[in-house]
Every structure is written in structure tokens, then in C-alpha cells.
Amino acid sequence: MAKKKRSQPRPSAPPLSPAALLKLFKEVKRPMSRAEVIRQLKLKKKDKALVKDLLRELVQKGKLVRIRRGYGLAEAMHCITGRLEIQRQGYGFVVPEDSRRKDVFVNQRDLNDAWHGDRVVVSVVGEPKAGRNAEGRIVRILERGRKVLPVKVVKKMTGGEWLCRPSDPRLNFGIIATLKDESVQVKPGEIALCAPGDRIDPTMWEGQITKRLGVETDIAVQEALVKSNHNIRTRFPSGSVTQAEGLPPEPSQKDFAGRRNLTGKPFVTIDGATARDFDDAILVERRGKGYRLWVAIADVSHYVPEGSPLDREAFERGNSYYFPRSVEPMFPEKLSNGLCSLNPDVERLTMVACMDTDPDGRTVKTELFPAVIRSHARLTYSQVRDAIIEKQAEARKAIAPDLINMLELSEELARKINLLRVKRGSLDFDLPEPEIFFDVHGETEDIRPKQRNFANQLIEEFMIAANEAVAHFLVERGLPCMFRIHPPADEEKLKNLFRLLSRTDKSVVMPKEITPKKLQMLVASMEGTDKEYIVNRMLLRSMKQAKYSPDNEGHFGLASVEYAHFTSPIRRYADLVVHRLVKAALHEGEGVPAPIPGRKKLLNVANHLSGRERVAMDAEREILKRVTVLFMRDKVGQTFDAVISHITDFGFFVELKEVMAEGLVRLSTMDDDYYTYWPQREMLVGERTGQSFYLGQTVEVVLEEASVERLELNFSLRSVTAASMDYKDLI
């Protein structure tokens, strides 16, 4: 009788995971159906549901794309996952989640129902042309950027529903909404929150009004609207609140273990008059012929362990969000305004960067360590200006004599550090920032340039020095770092600037290698001339956005080789990451290895934080625009002196001189001639009269419209000031 063959054990199937499925798709190198995936992995029928769930997860993450008969690798099908940013003109850009990729342009016709802020998959169509972004079309909406939309209530319909319009001018559709319940009461003209439902037709959606925000003219309503528009969290989850409430009111003796006691040293904080959280304190001492600069930063990481509820919430927020009348902080108030705020006359835990400099202010030695300090004074920028910069007797009397001496030494060192920074080519665009002033009733009283003085500069110089020292400390030890990088300026835009300037000044030649120093020299050569405005504006527009990265690419704007954010862990999560990296470096070799994140993890964190920073900037711009338009509504018909700030093929933008506001003069309002846009020369030129409009030109304009719905100020031209520059050579 033949022996029965022993069956060979069947090789075990690989563990089912999204990574395993992705690996399979990369190995097979073609799209597959779900059935093919199951066959390839030699799975059983019982695994069918799990495979379906994993495929759905990978589609949701944007790693796979669902096609007619199966699934394909997104990258192999020239698809990119990212966030959609729609411009006011209707088209959009997809900002890829992979920061190494460039933004993808999406024409309005290819948006496919995607809204501003949505997480999408974009299919790249063709190769990008020189100087232009690749073009694509939206093939899938992975996640709506906003689950709830702020809307303006237009009117009540016959059937009891309400006709509404999204308050975001980039969402060009209407909503027919019902009320969530009887507790929600709205009136025409008010702002409310609405949860969108299904699309009825290309211009109309269903929805449900969930909350009344209030009247449109109320600044608090406008702030709530902007926070909703940008998905800015306004409440802390119970877990993070419970963790914050469980923290002690003051540091204990146990917290002081392993820290240097610097409570006797006269550290001070210098901030704006309205600041409530103080995360940095400074001290300067004479050291031989040089100086010793101490920068103490609140040790937030001591109270916020990685992975804790407070840490997870702070990471999601990414940073604090600042509005004219409110703040949405990264941490609850108990931390941001209490335990981690370097308030005067109380002991606080800090991380200290102690920098020794030579007589010229150049850092020659840095030491980093945990410490406990006691701030000796809470000073404001205006106090330091009056007492130290302008040496006003009354202001000096209000500050202790030993602090006066220390602050004068601080000014001396700050000016030397600033000079070194200027010499290496650091770029400073001295452009005014708007500041909103409110009256006692909370109404906008004025919008004026923010006042700055060398007291502001003093703190900035010391913070930059500390940030550079910390980055160098980590690089020197071969350890990872969350760098703050700033890519070189856009070459095409710089070529346009040099081309424009060389038409009237043959001595201006574009250098072979663009460096911060060369651009700084250009700015300096134009200072005080009629070309200063043009150079500053066009240079600023050529600058790319700074971001976070685990790879050190330098900081172009600061002309800095190594730079990281270390000085604001209360309001920026990136600084908290750097604090943890520094602590890991300090504890190296002590037997207990501190967790040091790998490059991939740091890259994911960097991409998320760069995205949240972008959200904060967009929200800040939007609320400023809304407040400005509301402030200008009762000034329609008034005449203003203005400067042309930007030229387009449909008109030019102007900045008003009397109030910090910007608006548009459309060519359609100018009936004296037909105007042609000359992009290479940044000009509009009349075909019949030869009248030209150019950057920096002074004009007189009349405010025709202030539209909150479109967030626009529209002007008409009243008169043109005689040209101070001979632009005939350009024509």
C-alpha cells in the first residue's frame, strides 16, 4: 500500500495591513480589483470584508485611487493628495501633502464640486511649463474641509425654509436651509452656521441652520465666522482640560531637581502692552570685552508629555490664533497665562540658552540647560523705548536702577547683533503692519500702522540669536532638528524686477548668483529714491513662504545657515518639538535613552505644522479684510490719497494713505482711454493718450463700494499726481 504523502504546510499569508496592500500594488505595477488583491495574497473568503475596509482606508488616505474596475496607485496614475485653496478669481491650487511637490493649478471648470479647504486627490494633466505650476483636475474629494459653513441669511422662503449664501466669497452657491430646531431663530441679514447637505443643482445645496451667530456688523460675529471658515478650534476637549486642571498652581521643589537656580539673576520680560502670556525673558551681562546673553524660555515640555491629551490637542492646533478681539490659544489658559507664563516675581521653569559673544556681538559659545528663574519686571516695548532709547527721566524712574543698566547693555548688544545680521545679508522689509483700534463700545475707530521701535527690534535680535544657537547645537551633535527653512526667492519674479529697473538705470544688472546680500544691496541702493517702493514691493512678492522641515536648507530671508524655532513653545508647537529634541540631546549618555524621532516622523509633523501656520495666516488676513470693509462702509463717496500697490490686466490695486486699507480700481471704471497691461514692465498704458499707471504712483481715488459679501473695496480714479519718475523710457 502506497504511503500517503504528507501535505506541505501552506505558507502563511502576510499580515493584512494598509502597508502590505500598498507594497503589493507597487510590486504588481498595475491596477487591481478587490478579487485580484485577494488572489494575489492567497487569502480566504473570510478576509474579503477586511480587504474591502483596507482598500477603502487607502482610498481615503489618497494612496489609492478608485477606478472603474478596481484600484490603482495614486502616484503611478499621476495623482496627488493635498488641500485645495481656491482663489478669489475662481481657480484654485492643490497644496500637496508631500512638501517636496509643487502646488498644482486647477481651473475653475475642473474643481468638480470641491470647496476651498477640502482634502482632495488631483490628477495631474501634462507636464508643467517653464515658470508655471503643473495643471490638474480634482478626481476625488477625500474630506470636506468644513463640516459647517458660516452663511448670511438672505430671506425666508414660502415653505418656511431659509435662503442663505456662504459668507466665504470663494463658495459661489446658495443654500436652502431648514432650522435645526425651534431654539434656533434667525432673521434676514444675520450670520448663522449651516451644515450643508446634498446638492440640488449646480448652484444650490440643501442644508440645516444649526446656530445663530448674530448681526453682520458685530466684530465678535465676524471673528466667530472666520474661525468657523478655517476650522479653528474654539474649545478644548475634556481630556486636555482635565489634564490642565490637574496641574499645580505653582512649580514645586520636586520640579526644581536637576535645574540651575537663576532666581537671583535680573531677568525681565519685554512685550506689548496688551500681552497676557510671557514665554521669553532676557538678561545681558558684561563678560570681559564681550557680552553674555541669557534667553530663558518657558519649559512647556515639562508639563506636557508627548502623547498626552494636552500634547495631542496642541499638535492638532499647531499654533495659537490671534484675532483683533480674541485669541484661540494652543494651550488652556492655566498653562498659557499661568504656569508657563514668565510672570514677574514668581518662580518659573525654563529652558535657557546662554550665549557668550565677542566684543562685536558674535556668538562664540553656547550652553543650553534647564533652569528656574524669577522675572524681575514685566516691561512693555513703549516703556523700554521711553526709558532706554529716548532716555526720558520719568520713564527711567519707573524702572529699578540695576535694570536700567542691564537694559542699556542689552540695547548695546542688540545693535551689534543687528549690524552683524545686516552685514551677512539678512533682509528686512520695513513695510507697515496694520493695527486695529477700537472705541469703548467695541466699534472700529481707526486702522493705523503698528508702531514699532528698537525695543521691539531688541527682543527680535535676541530671539533670532537664540534660535540660531539652538539649531547649531543640534546640528553640531549630529542630532535631528525641526528646522525653520526659507527657500530662495522666485527667480522669474526677480528677473522681472531687474529687467524693469535696468530699463531706466543701466547700472542695475541681475547678478549671476542671487544671494540675500545682493538683494539687500539692491534695497539699500534704492532707499530714498523714487524706485524704493517698487523694489520693496516686488522683492516681497518674490519671496517664498517659510516652513518647517527636518532637512536643513537654511533661511534665505535671515541669511542664516542653521535656524529653528525655539523661543515660543506656548504658541507654536514646532518650538515644543525643538525643546524635546534639546532635552534628548542633554540627556544623551545618561543610561536612559530619550526618544528621538526619526526623519519620517519629523517630516509628517513639519508638514502638518506648516499647514496649520498657513491656516493662521489666512485667518488673520481674512479677519483684517472683514474689519476693514466694515470700517469703510460709511465712507462710500469719500475721496482718498492712495499709492498703486499692484498692477493686473483688469486694473490696479491701491493702498490708502489716510487709513491702512487696500482696494481695486477696475479698468471698466476708466472711460478716458483703452488701457493695455504690460506685464514685463508692471504698467498699464493708454492706447490713445499714453497715460501710464505704475507701482508706487500716487493717485486720488473715490470709494465706490465696500462689499462684505465679496470682501472688496472698489474705487474709481479721480486724478493722477504728476509722475515723479520719468517713465517715458519704459514705453
pLDDT digits (tens, 9 = 90+) for 464-522: 999 999 999 999 999 999 999 999 999 888 988 888 888 777 788 888 888 999 999 99
Task: Give, as one character, the DSSP assignment of residue 2.
Answer: P
CB 561 within 8 A of CB 554: yes
pLDDT, residue 61, reads 78
pLDDT, residue 19, reads 82
Residue type, 450: K
Q: Facing residues of 560 across strands?
A: 555
Q: Write down the architecture of domain 149-216 according to CATH.
A: Beta Barrel (2.40)
CB 331 within 8 A of CB 570: yes
pLDDT, residue 593, reads 56
Task: Give, as one character, the DSSP assignment of residue 680.
Answer: G
18-73: which CATH number, 1.10.10, 3.40.50, 2.30.180, 1.10.3470? 1.10.10
Q: What angle do CA 145, 148, 154 make, to 5 degrees?
A: 125
Separation CA 213–CA 167 (nearest Å): 12
In Å, what is the CA distance from 342 to each residue of 275, 297, 381, 518?
A: 12, 8, 16, 40
526-561 pLDDT per residue, tens: 888 888 888 888 899 999 999 999 999 999 999 999
608-658 pLDDT per residue, tens: 999 999 999 999 999 999 999 999 999 999 999 999 999 999 999 999 999
If one looks up domain 79-143 in CATH, what number appears?
A: 2.40.50.140
Residue spans per domain, the chain? 18-73, 79-143, 149-216, 238-485+550-623, 491-543, 636-730
pLDDT, residue 31, reads 84
Task: Give, as one character, the DSSP assignment of residue 585.
Answer: H
- Whole-number CA gyration radius for the chain: 29
Separation CA 31–CA 422 (nearest Å): 56
636-730: which CATH number, 2.70.160.11, 2.40.50.140, 3.30.110.40, 2.120.10.70? 2.40.50.140
pLDDT, residue 10, reads 47
pLDDT, residue 213, reads 96
Q: What angle do CA 66, 68, 74 make, to 5 degrees?
A: 30
Q: For the chain, how many residues are written?
A: 731
Query: Fold identical between 18-73 and 149-216?
Result: no
In Å, what is the CA distance from 72 to each residue of 26, 30, 394?
A: 10, 7, 74
3-state SS, one letter per residue, for 468-532: HHHHHHHHHCCCCCCEEEECCCCHHHHHHHHHHHHCCCCCCCCCCCCCHHHHHHHHHHHCCCCCH
Q: What angle do CA 337, 341, 344 make, to 5 degrees?
A: 110
Q: Is 167 exposed, middle or buried (0-12, 13-18, 19+ CB in 10 A)?
A: buried
Positions in the chain whose pLDDT score sits under 50? 1-2, 4, 7, 9-13, 723-731
CB 417 within 8 A of CB 549: no
